[in-house]
Structure 1
Amino acid sequence: MKRVQTLDGAFNDLMEASGLAQDERAINQALRNFTAAVGFDRFAYLNVRAGDARALSNYPADWQHTYLDNNYAAIDPVVTIAKRTMQPFVWSREENAGNVPETVRFFGEAADFGIRSGVSIPVRGGFGRTALLTLATDRPSADAEVRNSIHAITAVAFVHVHLNRLVRAPHSTMVVLTPRQSLCLSWASMGKTMDEIAELLGISERAVRFYVKGARDRLNATNTTHAVRLAVEQGLI
C-alpha cells in the first residue's frame, strides 16, 4: 500500500523542492509531488488581486479556462473564506455550497471536473494580494487536517515568493533577491515584526535582520518600508 505523508510532514519537502527549482515548470512539479504525497488528486496555486487572478494548477484544462475566463475567483466561496480567515481550512461542496444559486452552480460545475472537497492554505500578500494553495479531491469530504498552521502558511509563502521571483526573472534585469530575503520582505509587507518573522521561519531575529538588510542593500533602499515598496514594484514579492 502506498504510504501517504501527513500534510504537516510534507511541507518541508515542498519548501526544499521549491527552493531548488530553477523555473516555473519545476515549481509545478514540486506541487504535483506534494499533492500526490499527501493523498490528493489536484492542486491549484492562485494569486488573486482585485479583478485579476493568476493560477498554477493541474486541474483539468477546461476547468482552468472556465475559471479564469469567467473570473470565478470573484465568486469562489473558497477564495472568499480564505480572504476572510487567512488560516488553513477544509471545505467541501456539501458543507459550503449553501443555498445561493450562484454558489450552488459554481460548486456543481467544479464537481463535474472532479473537484468536490479539499483543503486550502491562504497567505496575504502585499497591496491587496492573496496567494492561495488548494489541494482538492473528488471525494465528498477531504480527510485532512493542518495541525501546524504557521508551518503551512510559511510553506505556501515560500512557494509564492519563489514562484514570483522565477516568473519575473526571465523578463527583467532588475535586482534578484535570495528566497530568504524575499520571504522576509514578504512577511514584512504583511506588517510582521522582526521577532514575528523569526518565529514564523524558525530562525533567530538576528538572522531575519541579516536577510532584511541584505535585501535593502540589493535594492538600494533607505529602510525596510522602502525595500518592501521597491520589491513589490519590481515583482520580487
Structure 2
Amino acid sequence: MPFSRTLASTLSFDHAVDLSSLPVRRHLPSHPFVERLRAAVPFDFFAVSGLDLDGYRFGSGHSIDTNVPPAYLDAYYGDGLLASDPFVKASSTATGVVIEQEIYKQDPPSERLLYLAHTFGVLNRTLFPIRRLSRIFGAVTFSRSTPFDREEIDFLGDISGTMHTIITKPIMERFAAQEMRLTDGELDCLRIASLGKTSEEIASACRYTTDTVNSYIKAATKKLSAKNRSHAIAEAIRRGLIE
C-alpha cells in the first residue's frame, strides 16, 4: 500500500527524499519512550507537534506524530477545525500549560468538535508548548477520559521537552540540515568545532584553509540564527544536526 501524503503508520522515512515529501501526519501507535511515560502517568492519546524549522512550527499542522485515531484526524482536518479550535488558538500564544476544559469555559467549542471528541474519546486535552527562547515551535499534548490532576500535569510538563526531542529526532537528523540549507562543509566544521578545536585545527582535519573554515562557521551561525560560534554549536546539537 503506498504512503499517504497526510498519514503514515511508521517512522521509516526511507521513502521521503526531503521534508516536504514526508507525510505531515504520522500515526505512531507505539513507541518505547511513550510506553514508559504512560506507565508513570496513564493517558489515552498523545500528539507531538511542530519542528524548529520555518514552515513546520506548531500551529501549521505540518508535522504531527500521534496515536490519535486516523479517522478523527481525517475528520478534524477535513472539516477545517484546526483554524477554529479554541484549544489550538489558545495554545499558539500560551506561556504555560493549556487545559482544554479551562479554555472551553471562555471560548466554547463547536458542536462538530465536541461530537468528534466524544465519538473518538479524545477528551481533556492538555498541551505543553515547546520553545526556543521566546518562540513556540512545538507542542506536546496528552488526553484521556478523565482530567489530569496537578501532580500529573507538573510531571508531564517536566518531561514534555524530552518527549518532543525524542519523537522528532529521526526527522531532525534526516532533514533539518537539508531544510536549513547547511552544507556538508558547514556541518563538518561545526562537528569538529564542538570538540573544542580551533579554526586552524579544523582546517588541518578537513583539509580546508583557515579562511574557508571561518567562512563555513560564519555561514552556519547565520543559518542557525546563533549569536556566535559556541551558540551555533549548541544549536546544531540541540537540533540533532551534529552529535
Query: What TM-score comes out, normalization by structure 1 length?
Result: 0.54
Q: In structure 2, what is the Cα distance between the partners aligned to 1:123 and 1:221? A: 27
Corresponding residue for residue 222 of structure 1 = 218
Change (3 A) 1:119 1:25: closer
Change (3 A) 1:50 1:81: closer
Check if 1:145 corresponds to 2:148: no
Q: In structure 2, what is the Cα distance between the partners aligned to 1:25 and 1:109? A: 18
2:34 to 24, 32, 39: 32
- Counting only pairs closer than 5 Å after superposition, residues 147-186 of structure 1 correspond to structure 2 as 149=157, 151-152=158-159, 154-159=161-166, 162-166=169-173, 168=175, 175=184
Instruction: Specify every segment of 5 or more residues in structure 2 that has no aligned partner in the other structure, as ranges.
Output: 1-10, 14-25, 51-56, 199-212, 227-234
Per the TM alignment, residue 107 of structure 1 is displaced from its structure 2 partner at its CA by: 3.4
Q: What are the superposed Cα offsets for residues 142-197 of structure 1, whole Å, 9 maximum, x if unpaired?
A: 23321585x4353145236514324528x9996597xxx99xxxxxxxxxxxxxxx
Corresponding residue for residue 42 of structure 1 = 45
3-state DSSP class of the match of 1:97?
A: helix
Change (3 A) 1:52 1:157: closer
Per the TM alignment, residue 56 of structure 1 is displaced from its structure 2 partner at its CA by: 0.9
Q: In structure 2, what is the Cα distance between the partners aligned to 1:78 and 1:212? A: 45
Q: In structure 1, what is the Cα distance between the partners aligned to 2:219 and 2:111? A: 48
- More helix, by proportion: 1
Q: Is the 8 A contact 1:212 1:224 kept in 2?
A: no
Per the TM alignment, residue 27 of structure 1 is displaced from its structure 2 partner at its CA by: 10
Q: Is the 8 A contact 2:97 2:129 kept in 1?
A: yes
Q: Is the 8 A contact 1:32 1:58 kept in 2?
A: no
2:67 to 58, 65, 75: 58
Query: What TM-score comes out, normalization by structure 2 length?
Result: 0.52
Change (3 A) 1:100 1:165: closer
- Counting only pairs closer than 5 Å after superposition, residues 59-138 of structure 1 correspond to structure 2 as 59-89=68-98, 91-93=99-101, 95-98=102-105, 100=107, 102-103=109-110, 105-124=112-131, 130-138=137-145
3-state DSSP class of the match of 2:218?
A: coil
Q: In structure 1, what is the Cα distance between the partners aligned to 2:224 and 2:33? A: 27
Please give the root-mean-square deviation of Cα atoms over the aligned residues, in Å: 4.8
- Structure possessing the higher relative contact order (Cα contacts under 8 Å, 6 or more residues apart): 1
Q: What are the superposed Cα offsets for residues 36-95 of structure 1, whole Å, 9 maximum, x if unpaired?
A: 222111111122456543211111110121223344332233322322223234x244x3
Q: In structure 2, what is the Cα distance between the partners aligned to 1:128 and 1:67? A: 26
Change (3 A) 1:145 1:162: same
Q: Give the letter aligned to residue 87 of structure 2.
A: V
Change (3 A) 1:41 1:210: same
Q: What are the superposed Cα offsets for residues 90-132 of structure 1, whole Å, 9 maximum, x if unpaired?
A: x244x33237565454234222210111322111369976311
Q: Is the 8 A contact 1:121 1:153 kept in 2?
A: yes
Change (3 A) 1:129 1:119: closer
Change (3 A) 1:103 1:155: farther
